[in-house]
Amino acid sequence: MSRSLSLAAYLAYASRTGKRGVVPNIPRPEGPVIWAHAVDTARADTLVHLAERLAQQRPDAHMLLTTSGPIPERLKARGPVIWQSLPDDSIPAAEVFLGHWKPDIVLWTGGDLKPALLISADKADIPRYLVDADEPLLERPAWRWFPDMPRAILSGFDTILARSEAAARVLRRYGAPERIVSVTGPFQEGTMALDYVHAEREELAGLLRGRPIWLAAMIQLSELDTLLSAHRDTSRLAHRSLMIIVPDKLDDSAAIRATLDAQGWRYAVWSEGELPTETTQVILADTRGEMGLWYRLSPITFMGSSLVSRQYGRDPNEPAAHGSAILYGPNVGRYLNRYSRYAEAGAARIVRDTDTLAAAVQRLIAPDQAAAMAHAAWDVASKGAAVTDSILDLLLDRLDLLESER
């Protein structure tokens, strides 16, 4: 990282101010540690997803995740990450933090760059990446007093991935070297398509050809009456409609069957090898490991565990990656950023009760309506997956290089 008069002045100030910091009470794990910083909740959510992908490829690696504000409770229980608050932007606090965790890589998202922390990482010779650089987060009023400091900080990154061309222009104006800046689009969670048995998909597609199909995925037992009422209303409009039910808890399967029997539904039980006939109204998909099959068969997916209180929804990336339009209830706190992104793209729609769910399903039964939403969902998911893949490749390549140098 190049030095400058303003940078030297800031370093002198940062060395004299700020608390020294408290040594974390969590020990550093064995193996590589990636320190990833999220400037907001949405990016924290995305970094958790990245950590999950990283754990699949490198089980020995760990992600240390810091946030600028309080760590959302709904995120704390998720993913293979070590949560920590961001230390003060002072040299003493940075030295304690870096001295304890000894990160192998720094992955900074968005912007809101902290000079003392990043300079301390540079002094410790830690590779640094800035990803999802965003124009509003790069502007810092304090930099007017230290005009050459942005160049010194930005030139220390190995790679900078900008969210937009506008962000890339800001980076270049601040002095980031052209060779390390590229525009990739937003860093958002994506997901990989789930496996399925091709022969089963072909057989079911043949049996169900021409029938309106919708999927109720990962549902709670307390949601069942609402779903069945909506399906009954839909069946009055389209009498050949079929609903596939996947319970969130397999232990609820017996109670679901009892309700289906009591209400007179004609249904097939997947775990017993039953296939749907022309008169089947419901498939009870009471097994695990076959969501890829159900998403591929269903142009419409209602994501369960979202209509009732004290629930937090299920991941909408899954149906999106398989080209399914998404419906969901209001209780999706754990995945709120993801649902909001799909809703803004016209790929997801919120429902609240039998009437709104039935109306949404009935509208989406029209193939062109479902196809438009499904395409929007797939577009958002695939773009997120592409950027995530590129960042994951950066991390894996650097980890391999560091390992070869030891």
Instruction: State the pLDDT at residue 1.
Output: 47
In a domain, 389, yes or no: no
Domain co-membership, 202 together with 117: no
166 and 269 belong to one structural domain? no
HSE (side-chain half, CA atoms, 13 Å) at 158: 16
Determine which helix (DSSP H) or strand (DSSP E) holds 254, and give its type and residue range: helix 253-262
Asked if 137 and 217 sit in the same domain, the reply is no
* Full residue range of the structural domain in which residue 299 is found: 198-381
Tokens of 159: 């790679």
| Contacts by 119-122, CB closer than 8 A, 24 or more apart | 119/1, 119/7, 119/11, 119/91, 119/94, 119/153, 119/156, 120/91, 120/94, 120/95, 121/94, 122/1, 122/156
At residue 226, the pLDDT reads 97
Which of 6-43 are b and which e, b meaning 16 or more Cβ less than 10 Å from the residue's Cβ?
Answer: bbeebbeebeeebeebeebeeeeeeebbbbbbbbbbbb
Given a contact cutoff of 8 angstroms between Cβ atoms, the answer to whether 320 and 191 are in contact is yes
Asked if the structure places residue 397 within a domain, the reply is no
Output the CA–CA distances (angstroms, integers) from residue 69 to 41, 133, 257, 384, in the order listed: 9, 19, 46, 24
Tokens of 309: 């209180």
Is residue 387 assigned to a domain? no
Q: Does a structural domain hold residue 111? A: yes
Q: For 5-57, write each residue's pLDDT tens digit.
A: 556 666 665 555 556 667 778 899 999 999 999 988 888 888 988 998 899 88
Q: Do 215 and 143 have their domain in common?
A: no
How far, in Å, CA of 279 to CA of 268, rounded? 10
In this structure, are residues 39 and 53 in contact, taking their beta carbons and an 8 Å threshold?
A: no
Instruction: From 155, 187, 219, give the residue that closes a domain.
Output: 187
* CATH code of 289's domain: 3.40.50.2000
Within the chain, which residues score under 70 in pLDDT? 1-21, 71-79, 142, 145-146, 190-192, 384
- Identify whether residues 165 and 203 lie together within a single domain: no
pTM passes above 0.85 = no
Residue 139 lies in a domain: yes
List the structure tokens of 298.
């269903």
- Residue at 390 is within a domain: no
Do residue 237 and residue 312 come from a single domain? yes
Q: 80 Cβ partners below 8 Å, 6+ apart?
A: 51, 52, 55, 62, 63
Phi, psi of 3 (to 5 degrees): -100, 160
* 159 and 212 both lie in a single domain: no
Structural domain count, the chain: 2
Residue with tokens 């399903």: 361
Residue 162 β-bridge partners = 133, 183
Residue 96 belongs to domain with CATH number:
3.40.50.11720
CB within 8 Å of 363: residues ≥ 6 apart: 369
Answer yes or no: is 393 within a domain.
no
Compute the distance between CA of residue 110 and CA of residue 134 in angstroms, rounded to an integer.
5
Boundary (domain end) residue, out of 153, 187, 221? 187
The predicted-structure confidence for 278-293, as pLDDT tens digits, reads as follows 999 999 999 999 999 9
The position carrying tokens 């890829």 is 292
159-162 and 181-183 as β-strands: parallel, antiparallel, unpaired? parallel
